Chains A and B, each alone.
Chain A
Amino acid sequence: MHKYANPAKFNELADKILPWAIFLTVSCFLAGLYLIFFEAPDDGEQGVRARIMYVHVPAAYAASATYFSLAVASFVALVWRHPLALIAGRAAAPIGAMFTVLALATGALWGKPTWGTYWEWDGRMTSVLILLFFYIGYMALWRAMEDHEKAGRASSILALVGVVNLPIIKFSVDWWNSLHQPASIFRVDGPKIAPELLTPLFVMLVAYQLYFVVVLLWRMKLEIGARKIEMMRQVAMSEGRRV
């Protein structure tokens, strides 16, 4: 694992993965869009509106999944002091925050015509909103400290504390009377929705995850570059040159 602690090695690997990942992401999104608009049937009650599900559900899923990767990266950063783990965490947080905002926004737009309200203080919405607060807190704490290493590790501690929210999101629909339906895809006894709905949904889930990988690698490369510039600037300043 520490082989890729070397940023040059990592950049090499990322450059090898990226073209494939981009190709797969674009094809998955195109395939997903085709399936959503030409193959998936209209919902009996909701009509065409139900298709927002294919944007909403993968976003909500990706929001939690990204937080999970953020927590894993934080754990690795704290326990093994792996330098890339800090960078991965920092790179993942804004992507996760964006997924969370997307999930909340599409949820609101879907909720208005079907439930008659943009927002309800329902267990799942509230816990996803709290997830957004954790992302914001993580990013704010990181920006508040000057030392990269210390800022990263402090934020990692916060990210690990925030993990308690993940099971709350997952089980909120079972614990509280919720407008959301109970788990219907990831169940012990297999998915409970019709296959012609499941296929496009699954393609979109994969597309979102691939998108995450692409943007994560991009952001990590950027962050490594930014760290390099910062270090060169410090060296130059210590030598008394103006920068």
Chain B
Amino acid sequence: MSGFAIFRGIVARDVRLAWSQGGTGSMALSFFLIAVSLFPFGVGADPQILAKISSGIIWVVALLACLLSLDRLFQADYEDGSLDDFALSPLGLTGVVYAKILAHWLATIVPLILIAPLLGVMMKLPSEAYGMLMLSLLVGTPALSLLGAIGAALTVSIRRGGVLMSLLVLPLYIPTLIFGVGVVDAVILSGNPHQLLAVLGAVSLVAFAIAPFASAAAIRLALE
């Protein structure tokens, strides 16, 4: 099999697994819905307060939903030995990591982006911000999958490493969060989010360039 066929095969397999029974795709989506709906109970249903914090809450909860689903990104394949096989494939371990990250983003994150406008309605997001909310998620969330893969790879051999992984990954998420929310707020306040959107894209691109290599190094370490 050529490298590209393997790449496609892994992406298709992981997307299918994420949406099969017991997969993380639907769970992350349900978590996203439930966790966002908690906030009106917590801070009160005052539309003005909700409108002010809606973009931040949607971004933070999307980030947490991503974190929850990352726990098993490499672990299942590590436990049943598939990762050893993948490491020897012509695609190389770094290529496999790219494939698994892409699959994670497609299966888990894209549904969150698609449902985000609905949560925007519930959270009284100002109407001019819907497009930019989705665009900011589209541009920024690849960084979440990419950086999260580093944490998932570093903790792959640790049983119940989920909490530790959060500790490692959350600080890495902060720039994405700052600029992601910044883009939405800029549209509401000044109508000009383009500069921040470019920075958000830059964060994703830097993560794209670095994260798979760091993740592959960490997995190689665990496989030794």
Q: What residues make up the interface of A, taking CB atoms closer than 8 Å to B?
A: 78, 126, 130, 133-134, 136-137, 140-141, 144-145, 150, 153-154, 157-158, 160-162, 164-165, 168
How far, in whole Å, are A165 and B154 apart by their CA atoms in the complex?
19
Q: Which residues of the partner chain A approach B214 to less than 8 Å between Cβ atoms?
A: 157, 160-161
Select B158's contact among A137, A144, A158, A164, beta carbons within 8 Å: A144
What are 28 contact pairs spanning A and B, CB under 8 A? A78-B217, A126-B174, A130-B174, A133-B170, A133-B171, A137-B167, A137-B171, A140-B164, A140-B167, A140-B168, A141-B155, A144-B158, A144-B164, A145-B157, A145-B158, A150-B157, A150-B221, A150-B222, A153-B221, A154-B218, A154-B222, A157-B154, A157-B214, A157-B217, A158-B150, A158-B168, A161-B210, A165-B171
Q: Which residues of the partner chain B approach A164 to less than 8 Å between Cβ atoms?
A: 206
Kindly state whether residue B46 has any CB partner on chain A within 8 Å: no
Are B155 and A144 in contact, CB atoms less than 8 angstroms apart?
Answer: yes
Kindly state whether residue B80 has any CB partner on chain A within 8 Å: no
How far, in whole Å, are A144 and B155 apart by their CA atoms in the complex?
9
How far, in whole Å, are A136 and B157 apart by their CA atoms in the complex?
20
Q: B140-159 vs A: 1/0 string, CB under 8 Å?
A: 00000000001000110110
Q: What residues make up the interface of B, taking CB atoms closer than 8 Å to A?
A: 150, 154-155, 157-158, 161, 164, 167-168, 170-172, 174-175, 206, 210, 214, 217-218, 221-222, 224
Tally of A-B residue pairs with Cβ under 8 A?
Answer: 52
Shortest CB-to-CB span from B96 to chain A, Å, is 17
Known: A145-B158, A153-B221, A154-B221. A161 touches B164 (CB 8 A): no
Known: A136-B167, A157-B218, A161-B214. A141 touches B174 (CB 8 A): no
How far, in whole Å, are A130 and B164 apart by their CA atoms in the complex?
16
Kindly report which residue of chain A lies nearest to residue B161, judged by CB atoms: A144
Are B224 and A161 in contact, CB atoms less than 8 angstroms apart?
Answer: no
How far, in whole Å, are A134 and B155 apart by their CA atoms in the complex?
15
